[in-house]
Structure 1
Amino acid sequence: MNGRVVLVTGAARGIGRAQALRFAQEGADVVAVDLCGPVGTVVTPPASPEDLEVTAKLVRDTGRRIVTAQVDVRDGTALADAVTAAAGELGGLDFVCATAGITSSGAALELDTQTWQTMLDVNLTGVWQTCKAAAPHLIERGGGAMILTSSIAGLRGLVGVAHYTAAKHGVVGLMRSLAKELAPHRVRVNSVHPTNVDTDMIQNDMVRRAFRPDLEHPTREEFAAAAVTMNMLPIPWIEPVDVANAALFLASDEARYITAVALPVDAGSVSR
């Protein structure tokens, strides 16, 4: 990754932070974007500006450069401006990790319109906005790679999160279309599909109670005992670095002829 530059959305924590750090450890400079604030309809704790600064420090500690921006991926104009400015400062852009996302829950027939729309706006339209903002810079460099973070919910139906599942399935369709449209420019596009990942997006009462509705405040251990049933391998969840490693491979020269692929990083969950 020496001499390369990666854009990571949702970079303040979780998978996005892990991606920023792993790319930096392999020599890339980083453009780190995150809203760093709440999203309506979402009850899980949001990332903060301080979280994004932690990511920046971790990257700088590797000796690499980083440009941060607090931007909402739903705002295409602001996102494009931030990406263009950062690419100018760092000398270009080679890779994209479109990772920013939210979670909420509700039965499909009980979701209100705003909850449905916000989910699609962030988890699908936000990914499209990210790719749209970055693509001209990758084309200018003569090629590159985009890795779109989907979910096992992009490959199978999940109960209680129809809006999330629809958005993550949409990411797969977007990935496949972009792979075809950008192939003449030597830009590869793939998606990664994690099972549960040990981040703040699952380690909260809302998600824990979905797995253990018999308990008012399930502990981490009680949640783990239920979550392990989702996976083929006997683990309750994977770590952010596992997803980051998959993204790093898909961006690397070792994956130079891999495009339009939906790669599960799921401990066998999809095949279970």
Structure 2
Amino acid sequence: MGRMNGKVALITGAGRGQGRAHAIRLAEEGADIIALDCPAQGSIPYQLATEADLDETVKRVEALDRRIIAIHGDVRTQSDLDGAVQRGMAELGQIDTVVANAGAWTVGPFWEIPEEEWKDVLDIVVHGVVRTIRAVTPHMIERGTGSMILISSGNGREGGVNYAHYITAKHGVLGFMKAVALELGPHGIRCNAILPGVVRTPILDWQGGWDLMAGGPGLGTKESMEIGGKAYALLKDVGMLPPSAISEGVLWLASDESRYVTGLEMIIDGGHLTMPGLNMANIAAMTAEQQQ
């Protein structure tokens, strides 16, 4: 305990899923939190985080006796992020780490995805990361220190079918991370990225996500998501990862334990990117268990 004592973390997409898990884990180790979420819906077909979701994050962090500022904001708007930084500095005094976590996706063949969905996914997933980092950079340069953590994806390293806009954006996050690490290293600021595998969050838990796991429109059920997660991981008995698995990486990169690390692509995916394909042994074991 106490690996983040005296530190303040700004987290985007903190209302639920990975963002909430990151806020809780950093608070458990002593950090105060600036939590930004509750964006406009736009063209995203499933429900984005709500005010009630963000309130729950606040409740969970406050239960750990840490301070938290909840900000309704959208990473598609630079002024929302600039305002979050200004308020965080005014009320908490500093920002030591930033976790650019907010994300969204839709599904469909790349030539059929409506232009508005392309724009929204890229605007949230990659441009939102850029805006977040731009907002906090002057403050970190002034202090001569800081840890920037960009949430990319295993899809930042590989292709995939029926979500080309998301894959494009996640590749972009890695390129941006490398550029930022080079530009800000001389200022004492570290910038790293985490590449999660399939994580059990609301971004996957809707019909489009189920169908993607099942292999076609209208074929998916909630169970399809669990089966697909089993095929994705290399490790035995590992399927969809809990958000807390990614939070452990966030904690290490935010803490002084990683003070000599920058420009890193940290992969947390149950071994997926090591495999040449899918892990059918996990699927077979799951099927046999269900038949007993």
What's the TM-score bracket when you normalise by the shorter of the two chains? over 0.9
Distance 1:193 1:269 in 2: 11
Contact 2:75-2:132 at 8 Å conserved across structures: yes
Residue of 261, 271, 276 corresponding to 1:258: 261
Query: Which residue matches 1:20?
Result: 23
Query: Which residue matches 1:210?
Result: 212
Query: Which residue matches 2:41?
Result: 39
SS at 1:147's partner residue? strand
SS at 1:183's partner residue? helix
Which structure 2 segments of 5+ residues have no match?
276-292
Distance 1:55 1:119 in 2: 24
**Residue identity opposite 1:142 in structure 2:** G
RMSD of the alignment, in Å?
Answer: 1.4
Q: Does 1:138 align with 2:140?
A: yes
Distance 2:234 2:259 in 1: 30
Q: Are the structure 2 counterparts of residues 39 and 230 from structure 1 closer, same or farther at C-alpha, using a change threshold of 3 Å? A: same
Distance 1:101 1:225 in 2: 23
- TM-superposed CA distance for 1:214, in Å, is 6.2
Query: Which residue matches 1:169?
Result: 171
Q: Are the structure 2 counterparts of residues 219 and 186 from structure 1 closer, same or farther at C-alpha, using a change threshold of 3 Å? A: same
Deviation track 1:82-112 (CA, whole Å, cap 9, x = no partner) reads: 2111221001110000001111111122222
SS at 1:270's partner residue? helix
Contact 1:151-1:192 at 8 Å conserved across structures: yes
Distance 1:14 1:59 in 2: 14
Query: Which residue matches 1:111?
Result: 113
**Residue identity opposite 1:137 in structure 2:** H
Residue of 8, 13, 21 corresponding to 1:5: 8
Deviation track 1:121-142 (CA, whole Å, cap 9, x = no partner) reads: 1111100000011112222332
- TM-superposed CA distance for 1:115, in Å, is 1.5
Contact 2:34-2:88 at 8 Å conserved across structures: yes
Structure number with greater Rg is 2
- TM-superposed CA distance for 1:5, in Å, is 0.3
The structure whose RCO (Cα within 8 Å, separation 6+) is larger is: 1
Contact 2:44-2:120 at 8 Å conserved across structures: no
Distance 1:165 1:230 in 2: 16
Deviation track 1:15-43 (CA, whole Å, cap 9, x = no partner) reads: 00001111110001000001x24532211
Deviates more, 1:8-17 or 1:133-142: 133-142
Q: How many residues align?
A: 271
